[in-house]
A and B are shown apart, each in its own frame.
Chain A
Amino acid sequence: MKMTRRLTGRNRPIARLVLATILLTTMLQITRASSAQAAASVDEFKAAYAAAEAANTQAGALRNQWTVTVSTLADAKKAADTGNFDAAVALSKEAEALAKASIFQGTSEKDAWKAQEIR
């Protein structure tokens, strides 16, 4: 009770100062965290895009690229160019998944095609 009275009474400016400090610190931490996240996204995009491109190159070596992989890679680059790294990373990961699926198809079909043959 006393404590409450003290804070809400004579020491109110101190309480306000403490509260403002806490708020300011929190805001600064949020701002720092956001900046750090944006910077990480550029790097994350570069890594994700490189991985997707590498997988698509591997699909190319199997002569089995997909048009959707190519268009998703292009969309990822466009998103990165406009600074939307969250979308760019997501699209790069999607492109990588598509490329890996085409690699799986190209590899498994090396034998699986025989099942369709007219004999």
Chain B
Amino acid sequence: MKVRSAIPLVSVALALAVLALAAAPPASAADAIDPAADARAFQKFFTTKFPKLKLEDFVNGPYSLNEDMHRQWVEKEEFPPYEFSLDMGKEMFAQPFKNGKSYADCFPNGGIGIRQNYPYFDDKEGKVVTLELALNRCRQANGEAPFSYVKDEMAALTAYMAFTSRGKPFDIKIPNDPRALEAYETGKQYFYTRRGQLNFSCASCHVQNPGERIRAEILAPALGILNAMPIYRSEWGSMGTISRRFTTCNVQTRGVPLDPQSDEYRDLEYYLSYVSNGLPISGPGARP
């Protein structure tokens, strides 16, 4: 009798437990890495924040956010400050190595019109490969010394390669490989992590405050920020690579920068490029 009366109670308890489990999302689902959902949310955030801008306008950074600056930019583009670097890059790209081979031998399609596919995840190495890294690996494979990642030669080469891809939308792939997803997530974490004595993350400026001034500069939105790389910066008085941009940002927050092309920076570039998928390559660019 006692057992019989207990059966309904146990059944009710079990049913309630099942309902509770079904209602609460599992922890793994909440933390699941979903780059496509991230990219949608990322692009929606910026297009909502700046409803007057077309998606492709974001690649022009602060010039799209301020009317006066936009006018300056249009005039600047008549004699763009990156032009010397572009010419230098074109010459360098065509110049054969001592062994007779050239950069064209290292890249698909002879290196022309491929910028939008970098960085990519190399499944053999299990890591992200950026264009800058691939260029230096090409040099080293052909017996040449690598270039500095933050100086003029690398900027010139990437300027030329970006120029041949102008207008092509970023098309970064994240293969269904846990290592690729982990690299993407590490890049995302780096982007949102506060660092340096000033306690700034990349997002503090480029998500929370694009369009606002920091000292004399107007902050660029994170969406499309790498599409214009490399850039001639008036502040620097020279061209700058993505590596230079990342390390300089870290120093500005009073953080010790990592080595250029360290895993974290490669992952950061992977993340930032992926969430700008669909936006056209506009590099080389110019910035104040």
- A and B pair up: yes
Contact indicator A113/B193 (Cβ below 8 Å): yes
Instruction: Please name all residues of chain A whose beta carbon is closer than 8 Å to the beta carbon of B195 when the two chains form the complex.
Output: 64, 105-106, 109
Contact size class for B?
20 to 34
Is A63's CB within 8 Å of the partner chain B? yes
- Give B201-256 interface residues, CB cut-off 8 Å to A: 201, 203-204, 207-208, 251, 254-256
Which one of A64, A112, A117, A119 contacts B255 once the chains associate, using CB atoms below 8 Å? A64
A65 at the interface (CB under 8 A from B): yes
Q: Would you call B173 an interface residue if the criterion is a C-beta within 8 Å of the partner chain's C-beta atoms? A: no
Partner of B256, one of A67, A116, A118: A67
Complex CA gap A109/B192 in Å reads 9
> In the complex, which residues of chain A have a beta carbon less than 8 angstroms from the beta carbon of B258?
63
* Residue A74 is within 8 A (CB to CB) of chain B in the complex: no
What is the bound-complex CA distance between A55 and B256, given in angstroms? 15
C-alpha spacing A60/B192, complex, angstroms: 19
Contacting pair A113 B201 (CB below 8 A): yes
For the complex, what is the distance from the CA of A45 to the CA of B195, rounded to whole Å? 29
Interface check A79, CB cutoff 8 A: no
Name A113's contact: one of B45, B192, B199 (CB within 8 Å).
B192
Main secondary structure of the interface of A (DSSP, over half): helix
Q: Which residues 89-119 of A have a CB within 8 angstroms of B?
A: 98, 101-102, 105-106, 109, 112-114, 116-119
A65, B193: Cβ atoms under 8 Å?
A: no
* Pick from B41, B189, B194, B197: contact of A118, CB under 8 Å: B41
**Interface assignment of B126: CB less than 8 Å from any CB of chain A:** no
Q: Which residues of A contact B201 (CB under 8 A)?
A: 113, 116
Instruction: Report whether A116 and B196 are in contact in the complex, using a CB–CB cutoff of 8 Å.
Output: no
A117 near B192: Cβ-Cβ < 8 Å: yes
In the complex the two chains form, what is the Cα distance from A45 to B232 in whole Å?
Answer: 46
Distance between Cα atoms of A101 and B194 in the complex (Å): 12
- With A105-B199, A113-B201: A66-B255 Cβ-Cβ less than 8 Å: yes
Residue of A nearest to B223 (CB): A118
Q: Are A109 and B193 in contact (CB under 8 A)?
A: yes
Asked whether A42 is an interface residue with its Cβ less than 8 Å from the other chain, the reply is: no
Chain A residues whose C-beta falls within 8 Å of the C-beta of B254 in the assembled complex: 66-68
- What's the minimum C-beta distance from B134 to chain A, rounded to whole angstroms? 24
**Residues of the B chain whose Cβ atoms lie less than 8 Å from the Cβ of A119:** 41
From A66, A109, A117, contact of B188 by CB (8 A): A117
Shortest distance from the beta carbon of A63 to any chain B beta carbon, whole Å: 6
